[in-house]
Amino acid sequence: MSKFSKDWKAQERDGFGKRTRETIRGQKPIRPQIQRATQQLNGEINRLETTTNRLKSRENSIFKKTVAAVQSHDQETSKAFSNELAEVRKMAKIVTQSKIALEQITTRLQTVTDIGDFTATLAPAIGVIRNVRSTLGTAMPEAQNALSDIGATLSSLMTDVGGLTGGNFFTPESSEEADKIMAEAAAVAEKRMSDSFPEVPTASSESVYSS
C-alpha cells in the first residue's frame, strides 16, 4: 500500500506520514473536500440527466409535428419544425456529452487513493469542468455557477496537495488528458444520439412515414 493510501486512512506514521496526517486533519482536510466535490458532481450529473430526458420528450413531440407537416406537404411548417428539431438535438448532444465527461472524472476522483494518481487525476478534472462549464453556456446557463464552485473546490484541493507534497502544481486552462476525456465523451454522445433519434424527415422521405 502506498504512503498516501496509508495516510489517507489516518494511520500513525512519522516523517511524510505525519505531515500528511496534519494536512488531512487541518483546516482544509483532503478527504472531505473530495467527498464534497464528488457529491456536487453527482448532483450536476443528475441535473443533466433530468435535462436530457426533458429534451428527449421535446424532441419526440417536435419530430411528430415535423412528420405531420411533411405528410401534409406543408414545406414552410416542416422546415420550421426541422430547424427547431435540429436545435433541440444539438442541445441534447451537448448535455449528453457534458454528462458523460463529468461521470468520467467523478469515477476517477471516487476511486483514487495514491497521491501520484491523485495529482494525475485532479488537473484534467479541473480542465474538464472548465470545458463543460463553457460548453453548457447556451444549453444550461444555470449550471455554470455550480460548476464554477466545483472547479474552485478542486483547485483548492490542488493547492492543498501541493502543500502536502511540497510541489507546485500548475493547472492550465486545458490539458491533453482533459481534451481526450472531452473527445471520448463527444464520440459516445454522438453514438447515443444516432441510436436514439431517427433521421429528420424531409419531403423525399414522406413515403417512409406514410407507410
Q: Tell me how many degrees the CA angle 151-154-156 measures, rounded to the nearest 5.
A: 110
Going from the C-alpha of 171 to that of each of 25, 175, 201, the distances in angstroms are: 25, 9, 46
- Could you list the pLDDT tens digit for every one of the 211 residues in the chain? 555 555 445 433 444 444 444 444 444 567 777 888 899 999 999 999 999 999 999 999 999 999 999 999 999 999 999 999 999 999 999 999 999 999 999 998 888 766 666 777 888 899 999 999 988 887 788 888 889 989 888 888 877 766 555 555 555 545 788 999 999 999 999 999 988 888 876 655 554 444 4
Given a contact cutoff of 8 angstroms between Cβ atoms, the answer to whether 99 and 52 are in contact is: yes
Pairwise CA distance, residues 175 & 93, whole Å: 22
Q: End-to-end alpha-carbon separation of the chain, Å? A: 65
Domain definitions of the chain by residue range = 30-200
